[in-house]
Amino acid sequence: DWYQTQVSNCNNIICNIDRIKEADPSMTDKEYSEWKSEAYCWRAWNLFQMSYIWGDIPVQNKLLPPITDENVEEVYFDMYPPRVPKEEVFDQLIEELTFACQYAPDLDPANKYLFSKAFAHGLLARVYAEKTRRDWNKVIENCEAVEAMNLKLVDDYGQMWAYDENDV
């Protein structure tokens, strides 16, 4: 339920960002693309986790209309979509993360809460490393993109969870 709630939160941004841009002419194209990219990243991470755990999963990519007694039968299948094969889920992840690799915010060490280009490239590399989409050249390409942002793997696994170098 938690994962689906997170996907729904992302859908609120993805499905409404065009209306927001239309209503607020001060929103720049850069802001528009960054917001959409960050929502794509968070949705992709959640869908990836769900696919990793359960394989084929139900994917909800749109907002539900208000449910009334007149439309409940029409909306039912939108509320409870059928499972989508993992391969199709990964197709969506690749498409959305490719967009995010181009338009997500740049890496900002002062704000690690952004879903940045580095995050998008890292998750895309992980998707391409999966058996259903294995493409080592794409894995290397995306890992090199992350490294080009001055990020690297730590030498000691214990450092991954340290708050600073004194905690190791």
Give the H/E segment covering residue 101: helix 86-103
Residue 114 confidence (pLDDT) above 70: yes
Q: Return d(Cα 142, Cα 136) in angstroms, integer.
A: 10
- Please say whether the beta carbons of 54 and 86 come within 8 A: no
Give per-residue pLDDT as tens, 69-104.
888 888 888 888 899 999 999 999 999 999 999 999
Which pLDDT belongs to residue 154? Answer: 74
The span from the CA of 53 to the CA of 31, in Å, is 33
Confidence band (pLDDT; 50, 70, 90) for 105? very high
Q: What is the pLDDT of residue 168?
A: 45
Residue 129 CA to residue 113 CA, distance in Å, equals 25
The enclosing H or E element of 38 equals helix 29-54
CB 90 within 8 A of CB 42: no
Please indicate whether residue 76 or residue 118 has the higher confidence score (pLDDT). 118
* 10-62 pLDDT tens trace: 999 999 999 999 999 999 999 999 999 999 999 999 999 999 999 999 999 98
Q: 0.85 cut: is pTM over it?
A: yes
pLDDT of residue 109: 83
- Residue 163, pLDDT > 80, answer no
Burial of 116 (0-12, 13-18, 19+ CB in 10 A): buried
More confident residue, 1 or 56: 56
